[in-house]
Structure 1
């Protein structure tokens, strides 16, 4: 059993955070932010042994001449302050600028088999990778390899297989420049197998919004939050996942905007916030309320909740208490009557049963909506990781269309993306379902015939590896083994590869899933100088935030090692070596595939993006502007790129009763519905420590938040240790051992625990309809006494 499966009282080597069998669990009395955030900032800077370097780098974070935070994708304001970062941004920067190093000596001391018994925090806490490494099966250790030899090994393996047997995974950390070169290489090589992290998070947002509006991106700017009368927040926890959003929510609340929150858990960041940059507030120990209304739906109940708000609004229309935007509805939308008929045919009993909320609650939310001239709806993965996520997104779009809250100042739709450039990656071509216009543009630019058949997304890529249909895996960032569902199956699938290549800044679990060959290729971090070309000119990259703003990012720190290469340089090196073996490079329209020339000057890569991707006209000139530039979003101008040219109301039925019976009505048999989530000391799969301050957990990650009524019903007590058992398929048992029960404010029948520890419980086959996104917010589990701690 691995170290991550059992609590321990030992302090980990080189680690200040403690993991203990007896964690301290106590309600957190303070607001989000405040002194707790400042203390956490200092602790993480010290832990990473870079208090001075880390502090200097923070002053360049999210600044016009600095680098984009490697954390979330929340938009940047006009940089009126020198402190455009949050607590978790500090953790991300400190994690990257750490003084700790993983050298060849480290790998000589530790076998891969030994490292598999380390937990995720301990692996990444060893520090920055410093040189390319190749796995040696004889010694079970990674050993140094030169860059050219590494590229040659990759080229040899890729040249030996059919292109559709190779998988090119992308993390949202990659810049636009790296992502564009990566997708170009994959397609010139001969495949659209471009699974990426979007497949596991906001796929439903893009699909649902595209079907309704003709564009799959949010319709708001950051400035719209300054004018909204009401902000409806669905299925997200900004206090942990994108804390800079709390500043915008707080300012909205201060000027009187209503903030209506729908979240199964009570989250401190959505209740109260103290701005660490507000000296007067900090000295007085004050804070400000965030949510004016806080509703706790059942897991998966958001669509029914929105349906209930709509039902109440239609009743208000009939009673003369609400007047929708008839001019907008009549001229720019279609399908309203069919949706209204669907809403009115849905009875309140069904809405209440599925949402877990009462008619009075939803009518109060509808009243806020009806009294607001400008409404924003914002959401994250609490909405998108369900079977019916696409329909839920479209129901939210319906709600805003009813009031004409699209294409209006202070109003619109705002899916909040995760990693800082996950949206940009998709914009510049990371898409396993390549749209026809993209292939047309690439073929015209480079004079090549490129594949058009759809490639593998993340879930189908795991299946392809499992079935032996794919056997070379290359990851541009990320931690695939820990980000994906059904962990034992994913790890076993990676272990079947002929070659596993990980382009990374730090050691992680994905490096330890060895097939025949494995390479670790260390890259520069976002905060580091990226010097290219014969004169070593410092390069800037570009990223796109959740508001479709594209801006420059320039590292300001010396690299962790002289042997590091940038992501664009690594991609270009792989491409040059591989295509030299598999293709005769051809020229068309005077433009060669000049990988080396592109990397010498990233302006040249941006010129390629400009020539191929719509919306990037004068890319280099506009990138040099203050705050960069906004990509065109037709829906912001009420231009809807749908077949009819109008915004389309959907009229989907609520999730069928069978699904809700499976998830919520098997309680009598002891089943619960689990959602996976992050702790406050975590960003995606990166674990910074063992605390979750706002939820009152210190010293442990293997905890299960559960309703007090369920504890009593199941004959359990707060503090008991249990094993989580998921649904089995055939002889495959899904379980996660040794979790401490924590009584928490969450609806009865629902529970929550951190990923990646609970990813083994998420079935690979359980995905969203249309999106193929794992249903990580709706996992059926039951509890057994812990067999490990009996």
Structure 2
């Protein structure tokens, strides 16, 4: 159903983020899913020992048992999964592909849980129920006709460690190394940048560092919507006196007025608090310039301290003992122009100086970030420049300090640890080959998500298999990619609910219903446990508690083992044994991780006794697994020739830098409703946030309908989304924001980050014009 942007209502009142609004929203989502009686189960069993891990974000859980360790967004995900709604055979018989495509993303998922395997063929024009034996027979036949180079196996961060390990094992044992994963769309630059700088591609912080930090930099993220439990940690830190600095183009309500639903006083008064000590509204893409400005000022303060004999703000002993490359960075900063840093960051010199002073005075500093840093052409350089900033004061490897990329989906980090990605180290592949010596494990590097997208658009990829996710919509150029998927010979999706990618199957398409995190998983009558890894490298167990909706639903490990039996029946791999007992999967994982992640030793025992284990982070221990054996400073110039700058050379200053964002009623591509409570948007999602200055400069009114025209590196394809409501918002001039995935058709598949090929969703060059129908009306008058 097409949304009518004229019905969207804007409310600029300033009720606290969190608070009673979060409580009411939690009860509402359970009621809408017709499971109001389960709200207590959701609140009291999520993230608890012996129960299930939240199927939402990857923010760490509190160790031990807490009365409630969940949030509004987590409970939306839980209710969405625990629903008793399900589309029956009549629904699919009554909906052709065209009719399914006419439904909104919200309407598709609102049909409920998938419960039976479904087959689409071009002859039938519909999805029709089939049996599981047919599923595996069809898969073997279709992929056998194509061969490994013609297929790709996509892994979503929703899956478990056990399913992800099996997924990559099936692919590699069959001979396919095309293993794109959802990290290709999000934190790939974080891992790449940190691996080169500090020797490990994961964050160095633990949850208790929030309790010890004196300064917390929250960069390029909106935790009140995307990680509300992190917002509670920031709230507690601010109350005890730590300073929180938010660095983000949008001024988000969670930083200015937040009420923790677990804070009795705030709930009784209905008042929140300003969590952020300062909000620095950096220009989109201006973070690297800002970090360099803070470092340049810090070195100026250091010179002053040396001259006066005062304590120095840089940690000279740490730099000398643990790092290399400082002299080159210092020389680069000395030569850097203040005019350039101010212009490119969009931040006033006084604000940069103040931030540098705050940093110099803070004994321990954490830096957390999300997609606001990774979704840019120069994201790797930006994150390594942030690492430089942390290294200057020794803020890696001590309490209350460190780097913390906050992952989106609950096991996106675990997928990588399990090998569900297109390139793995030789040692890991050696171990995998040794564990399964009779299987012909391929060792070659495969296609990442960008490579799969390129081949889809060229029309030379025969099959896409997905372990969860919404591949075509999560990626760039979604309109073209969806059409390209329909040209494949074969698609297979393992899913809990319908999404838009499923509406574009290949000539033969399978849609397979799987158990979710909350579902009780019985194999041969025995309950099974899976595991996931959070943003702090803590691996914890998860056990579903709710009886599945139908006996025809299978778990992810069981489905993947069935695929393995169909594709690799003679590889000496006991697929049936692993499907029957997930402990056997973990025994294989333990041996494959030997010498790489030895914390997996006694994996099954640790999960059974403790429910969790934490993987060693070498950088946290100040052991640097880099080429030099030390943490490495890296010199990067301020980027001045990115996609937006190139577009302005062609189209002038009318070009805006557009960032895609989530609404508050959303998790990744899952849309729970039409509202964005904290930004005051109600009743629809087709909005674009613009500054008052940019509205005026374009002759547009607040509330006017506009069309957005992508104007990145030009090719023969028009990229435009129409009928968006212009909303005046506190955002820097020259910048704009719109919701993901509605705005992703504006981004060309070729607009990627350097080194890591992550889509540049946060730096899309666009032209904003009055909507076509309004132009026609004006011309007629």
Q: For the superposition of Structure 1 and Structure 2, which TM-score range results when normalised by the shorter chain?
A: over 0.9
- State the partner residue of 1:589: none
**C-alpha offsets along residues 276-306 of structure 1, whole Å, 9 cap, x if unaligned?**
1222321122222211011001100001000
**C-alpha offsets along residues 407-444 of structure 1, whole Å, 9 cap, x if unaligned?**
10111000000000000000110121122112111111
Q: Secondary structure at the match of 2:45?
A: coil
- State the partner residue of 2:584: 604
- State the partner residue of 2:549: 560
Structure 2 residue 682 is the aligned partner of structure 1 residue 685: no
1:664–1:749 contact (8 Å) kept in structure 2: no
The 5-angstrom pairing of residues 754-769 of structure 1 reads: 754-769=739-754
Q: Secondary structure at the match of 1:434?
A: coil
1:28–1:694 contact (8 Å) kept in structure 2: no
- State the partner residue of 2:763: 778
**C-alpha offsets along residues 45-75 of structure 1, whole Å, 9 cap, x if unaligned?**
1111111124323321000111010100000
1:298–1:354 contact (8 Å) kept in structure 2: yes
The 5-angstrom pairing of residues 344-355 of structure 1 reads: 344-355=334-345
Q: Pick from 272, 286, 297 the counterpart of residue 312 of structure 1.
A: 297
CA distance in 1 between partners of 2:483 and 2:395 (Å): 48
1:471–1:497 contact (8 Å) kept in structure 2: yes
- State the partner residue of 1:571: 560
Q: Pick from 67, 86, 92 the counterpart of residue 82 of structure 1.
A: 67
Residues 139, 443 of structure 1: alpha-carbon distance in 2 compared, 3 angstrom cutoff: closer
CA distance in 1 between partners of 2:507 and 2:761 (Å): 31
The 5-angstrom pairing of residues 118-129 of structure 1 reads: 118-129=103-114
**C-alpha offsets along residues 478-508 of structure 1, whole Å, 9 cap, x if unaligned?**
1112111101211122111111111000011
- State the partner residue of 2:605: 621
**C-alpha offsets along residues 221-277 of structure 1, whole Å, 9 cap, x if unaligned?**
101111001001110000111110011101110110011110000111122211112
- State the partner residue of 1:541: 530
- State the partner residue of 1:385: 375
Q: Secondary structure at the match of 2:58?
A: coil
Using the TM superposition, give the Cα deviation of residue 139 of structure 1 relative to its aligned residue in structure 2, in angstroms: 3.6
Residues 643, 669 of structure 1: alpha-carbon distance in 2 compared, 3 angstrom cutoff: closer
Using the TM superposition, give the Cα deviation of residue 164 of structure 1 relative to its aligned residue in structure 2, in angstroms: 1.3
Q: Pick from 625, 628, 633 the counterpart of residue 641 of structure 1.
A: 625
Q: Is 762-771 or 271-280 further displaced after alignment? A: 271-280
- State the partner residue of 1:162: 147
- State the partner residue of 2:316: 326
- State the partner residue of 2:693: 709
TM-score (normalizing by structure 1): 0.95
Using the TM superposition, give the Cα deviation of residue 450 of structure 1 relative to its aligned residue in structure 2, in angstroms: 2.5
- State the partner residue of 1:723: 707
1:68–1:526 contact (8 Å) kept in structure 2: yes
Residues 217, 173 of structure 1: alpha-carbon distance in 2 compared, 3 angstrom cutoff: same
Residues 700, 510 of structure 1: alpha-carbon distance in 2 compared, 3 angstrom cutoff: same
Q: Secondary structure at the match of 1:691?
A: coil
CA distance in 2 between partners of 1:132 and 1:80 (Å): 38
CA distance in 2 between partners of 1:624 and 1:344 (Å): 55
1:57–1:527 contact (8 Å) kept in structure 2: no
Q: Is 270-279 or 369-378 further displaced after alignment? A: 270-279
Structure 2 residue 28 is the aligned partner of structure 1 residue 43: yes
2:174–2:440 contact (8 Å) kept in structure 1: no
Q: Pick from 525, 548, 551 the counterpart of residue 516 of structure 2.
A: 525
Residues 669, 289 of structure 1: alpha-carbon distance in 2 compared, 3 angstrom cutoff: closer
Q: Is 378-387 or 111-120 further displaced after alignment? A: 111-120
Using the TM superposition, give the Cα deviation of residue 356 of structure 1 relative to its aligned residue in structure 2, in angstroms: 0.1
Residues 664, 281 of structure 1: alpha-carbon distance in 2 compared, 3 angstrom cutoff: farther
**C-alpha offsets along residues 345-364 of structure 1, whole Å, 9 cap, x if unaligned?**
11111001110001110110
Using the TM superposition, give the Cα deviation of residue 788 of structure 1 relative to its aligned residue in structure 2, in angstroms: 4.7
CA distance in 1 between partners of 2:29 and 2:648 (Å): 40
CA distance in 1 between partners of 2:186 and 2:772 (Å): 33
Q: Is 206-215 or 653-662 further displaced after alignment? A: 653-662
CA distance in 1 between partners of 2:347 and 2:641 (Å): 17
- State the partner residue of 1:411: 401
Using the TM superposition, give the Cα deviation of residue 682 of structure 1 relative to its aligned residue in structure 2, in angstroms: 0.3
1:67–1:556 contact (8 Å) kept in structure 2: yes
Q: Pick from 121, 130, 137 the counterpart of residue 145 of structure 1.
A: 130
Structure 2 residue 456 is the aligned partner of structure 1 residue 470: no
1:45–1:51 contact (8 Å) kept in structure 2: yes
Q: Pick from 250, 253, 267 the counterpart of residue 238 of structure 2.
A: 253
Q: Is 254-263 or 315-324 further displaced after alignment? A: 315-324
- State the partner residue of 1:10: none
Q: Secondary structure at the match of 2:568?
A: helix
- State the partner residue of 1:486: 477
Q: Secondary structure at the match of 1:129?
A: coil
Structure 2 residue 301 is the aligned partner of structure 1 residue 301: no
- State the partner residue of 1:340: 330
**C-alpha offsets along residues 374-398 of structure 1, whole Å, 9 cap, x if unaligned?**
1100100000000000000101111
The 5-angstrom pairing of residues 266-285 of structure 1 reads: 266-285=251-270
Using the TM superposition, give the Cα deviation of residue 344 of structure 1 relative to its aligned residue in structure 2, in angstroms: 1.5
Q: Which runs of 5+ in 2 are unaligned?
A: none
CA distance in 2 between partners of 1:643 and 1:81 (Å): 42
CA distance in 2 between partners of 1:667 and 1:31 (Å): 41
**C-alpha offsets along residues 686-739 of structure 1, whole Å, 9 cap, x if unaligned?**
000100000000001000000000000000010100111112744310001110
Using the TM superposition, give the Cα deviation of residue 191 of structure 1 relative to its aligned residue in structure 2, in angstroms: 1.5
**C-alpha offsets along residues 652-710 of structure 1, whole Å, 9 cap, x if unaligned?**
11113465633678885421110001000000000001000000000010000000000
2:48–2:65 contact (8 Å) kept in structure 1: no
- State the partner residue of 2:362: 372
CA distance in 1 between partners of 2:568 and 2:550 (Å): 29
Structure 2 residue 53 is the aligned partner of structure 1 residue 64: no
1:54–1:93 contact (8 Å) kept in structure 2: no
Structure 2 residue 460 is the aligned partner of structure 1 residue 452: no
2:377–2:642 contact (8 Å) kept in structure 1: no
CA distance in 1 between partners of 2:571 and 2:668 (Å): 39
Q: Pick from 491, 495, 499 the counterpart of residue 508 of structure 1.
A: 499
Using the TM superposition, give the Cα deviation of residue 449 of structure 1 relative to its aligned residue in structure 2, in angstroms: 4.0
Q: Is 443-452 or 265-274 further displaced after alignment? A: 443-452
- State the partner residue of 1:585: 571
Give the CA RMSD over aligned residues: 1.4
Q: Secondary structure at the match of 2:6?
A: coil
CA distance in 2 between partners of 1:46 and 1:660 (Å): 44
Aligned residues: 764
2:494–2:514 contact (8 Å) kept in structure 1: yes
Q: Secondary structure at the match of 2:517?
A: coil
- State the partner residue of 1:17: none
Q: Secondary structure at the match of 1:776?
A: coil
TM-score (normalizing by structure 2): 0.96
Q: Secondary structure at the match of 2:531?
A: strand
CA distance in 1 between partners of 2:415 and 2:170 (Å): 14
Residues 576, 463 of structure 1: alpha-carbon distance in 2 compared, 3 angstrom cutoff: same
- State the partner residue of 1:398: 388
Using the TM superposition, give the Cα deviation of residue 626 of structure 1 relative to its aligned residue in structure 2, in angstroms: 3.7
Q: Secondary structure at the match of 1:251?
A: helix
Residues 665, 66 of structure 1: alpha-carbon distance in 2 compared, 3 angstrom cutoff: farther
CA distance in 1 between partners of 2:440 and 2:350 (Å): 60
- State the partner residue of 1:14: none
Q: Pick from 346, 353, 363 the counterpart of residue 356 of structure 1.
A: 346
Structure 2 residue 417 is the aligned partner of structure 1 residue 431: no
The 5-angstrom pairing of residues 118-267 of structure 1 reads: 118-267=103-252
The 5-angstrom pairing of residues 108-123 of structure 1 reads: 108-123=93-108
